[in-house]
Structure 1
């Protein structure tokens, strides 16, 4: 029997879960990613806000599959797919043939038609984004320490987060902790507690996917921590000097984008129908219409749950899709009945707000406060890869909980003009 070539584009949760679960005779798996590491994206904001180091939430893909001789890893950027020749094209000119193709290319920042805002309001999807934001946060305090003009200093100590979903809420809470507790005794010319932290949401409330009571609790908790919450008013302008909230201009040298994402170009590569966010509309078995050899999964795919609602772009959903597609490919290879249509099992929504404060929605069970915070932490530690990472993250969180000090506060990248505050 000829070896069946499965090419997986993307080393995120969906792609890695598929490669992990697919173990079939005479089947080879090639993982292609433009980065050499898998990233635990739910904790990426903690790298951006000086809580964790990059090595604690990212692992080399090659190392993860060192014991799997049927799995190969290639570092490269996919720029297109020839569906007739069944070949994946890379930016460097190389081509990879496939028998089955799985596109799990994730999503990128979406600025809703205002891409010119990106240099001033970086989003958070990769390690490079996190280290850029961390550098800007720390440089803001450093430059404010040197600034004699009170208005410029005020602008430097104003931090604006656009978007109040889980990432925005979690970032606002940690920045508040950084200013109110961690840095207080380390500066001499400025009082870091005077920092202004703005969380702006165009919708009516923070954490809109959570029940209203938990959303209200999260907003009240943020306010107690010193965060200024603005809801129901969109950001209408963004430049190097700050942002406009409705008609009000706020001088802010550090702006962070947490408002939206857009799917990769995978749908265009294979001629699939797209939804409004650019995600590929897939069949119930997660294949592309008319092309049963091509699967699209994770944040790149537009998938419906059993009740007709969209499957959310979260890690558990991506992992479930990867596991499902692995079972479909295996059934095809072995000649056994293929599984029925993909069914998403919702595991709940979790978000942390600050020290000893979080919200959890498990459907019938809803939690908030300290108990929710401990469950949130344990859940994230459980899903980390490897005992070493779990131990490192657990110890980092314990140290911050006890001392209030963040250990990953190094400015390690050269400053560019775009990073000036």
Structure 2
């Protein structure tokens, strides 16, 4: 009887973000058969989505098709699909285009914004987790300027030129600074809008901005935002939101747009597995990144609950996800090819950062901190380096340099149909 060669172990990676892409690339480089499943066809550099939302960059500058990134690896394939569930007994992933069998499963589905039980706010106050959300925010910001230019009502103009960002974490701080600069730079192109009419509010429920950073850096961030004209409201909880109003305290404030950045939670991937997630929906994993109690199933990045040596969860940062993806890709490749034992993952902190406008940023390296222009330069270098390809690094670098010199915003495009539907102005609704 003829004997055939045993089939190569199959690795399925769900999610093409920082963690999933890094893992797939490492496995592909080692000749391991990998299938990447994602509901989007592109890898997205989420830390720069706020620049798409504020017309500083175009969507294509921070996104690249997964097939282009992974096409060089002979053993890596990509499936555009929505995952519906996982059968850990049959070792199969159910998607909307069929089932995919696996020998090793890697879940790297990231996180989403947490609206704390008010899901109706999701539509009126988009976050910054996808290109669609960034485009929606950009549309609303630019339309607010256009409508403010043509309205005869001073009250209407005041509302349209009021932009609110909810949440004082890195996303909220970066978005608030960028929106303030957008208003200051583009108002020169309008005849009836003065820069001082553009109003930006950053609302934070806690006592300070950037709660994960040292207090000195939080204070510096607040000072820098206020220099840009941002009104920072601390210890302030939002009570209600509509398309054109924000309610906080005893005030109902008419606004032109609202951006949500008040906390994240893991994706719903924990529902696929017989595991108990934490309060944020994260999947508990061992030191090797294997899901606790689940053989040959791993979780990475924002969806994984990985505890450091002090027993604290690792933060939802791009550097954590990328390091975990690289580590597991190398370790799992050696395990599949040579039977090597999976080593524990160790996070190497490269620093936590947030940018505040065009001249300032903060960096927290744990034992020491950096702020100001030097931190801003370092922030730019790090973010360019983390982009997925040399082409993107070059494009973004050139555009940043041009924008710095000219104060121009080149991605100010509004869809033709924007005056109807949910993005209609308070005047036209």
Q: TM (normalized to structure 2)?
A: 0.95
Residues 71 and 351 of structure 1: is their aligned pair in 2 closer, same or farther, counting only changes over 3 Å? same
- The aligned counterpart of 1:171 is 175
1:385 and 1:320 map into 2 onto residues whose CA distance is 14
Equivalent residue in structure 2 for 1:68, among 68, 73, 87: 73
Deviation at 1:374, TM superposition (A): 0.7
Q: Show the counterpart of 1:21.
A: 26
Matched residue, 1:123? 127
Q: Which moved more, 1:321-330 or 1:124-133?
A: 321-330
In structure 1, stretches of 5+ residues that fail to align are none
The alpha-carbon deviation at position 394 of structure 1 amounts to 0.9
Q: 2: CA distance between counterparts of 1:110 and 1:67? A: 37
Task: Decide whether the 8 Å contact of 1:141 with 1:192 is kept in 2.
Answer: no
SS in 1 for 2:187: coil
1:286-301 alignment, distance < 5 Å: 286-301=289-304
Quick one: which of 81, 84, 91 aligns to 1:86? 91
Give SS of 2:23's match: helix
Please give the per-residue CA displacement for 1:19-43, whole angstroms capped at 9, x wherever unaligned.
Answer: 1111477731000001110001111
SS at match of 1:292: coil
The CA distance in 1 between the partners of 2:28 and 2:34, in whole Å, is: 9
Q: Does the aligned pair in 1 maintain the 2:141–2:256 contact within 8 Å? A: no
Matched, 1:419 2:423: yes
Quote the residue 2:199 is aligned against: 196
Contact 1:233/1:246 (CA < 8 Å) preserved in 2? yes
Q: Describe the superposition over 1:338-388 as per-residue Cα deviations: whole angstroms up to 9, x where unpaired.
A: 243222221111111011111111123311111111111111111112222
1:245 is matched with 248
Cα distance between partner residues in 2 of 1:120 and 1:233:
19
- For these two proteins, the number of residue pairs brought into alignment is 419
Distance 1:392 1:241 in 2: 35
Distance 2:66 2:30 in 1: 22
Alpha carbons of structure 1 residues 159 and 26: separation in structure 2 relative to 1, 3 Å: closer
Correspondence list, 1:7-406, <5 A: 7-23=12-28, 27-92=32-97, 94-180=98-184, 182-406=185-409
What root-mean-square deviation, in Å, do the aligned CA atoms of Structure 1 and Structure 2 show? 1.4
**Secondary structure of the corresponding residue to residue 220 of structure 1:** helix
- Report Cα offsets for 1:179-214 as digits up to 9, x if no partner: 12x113211122243111000000111111111111
Secondary structure of the structure 2 residue equivalent to 1:381: helix
> Could you tell me how far apart the structure 2 residues matched to 1:350 and 1:16 are?
22
**Using a 3 Å threshold, how does the CA distance of structure 1 residues 413 and 383 change in structure 2: closer, same or farther?**
farther
- 8 A contact 1:24–1:333 mirrored in 2: no
Under a length normalisation based on structure 1, what TM-score does the superposition of the two structures give? 0.96
- Partner-residue secondary structure (3-state), 2:193: coil
Equivalent-residue separation in structure 2 for 1:175 and 1:355 (angstroms): 12
Cα distance, 1:330 vs. partner?
Answer: 2.1
Instruction: Provide the C-alpha distance between the structure 2 equivalents of 1:73 and 1:409, rounded to a whole number of angstroms.
Output: 33
- Contact kept, 8 Å, 2:44 with 2:63, in 1: the verdict is yes
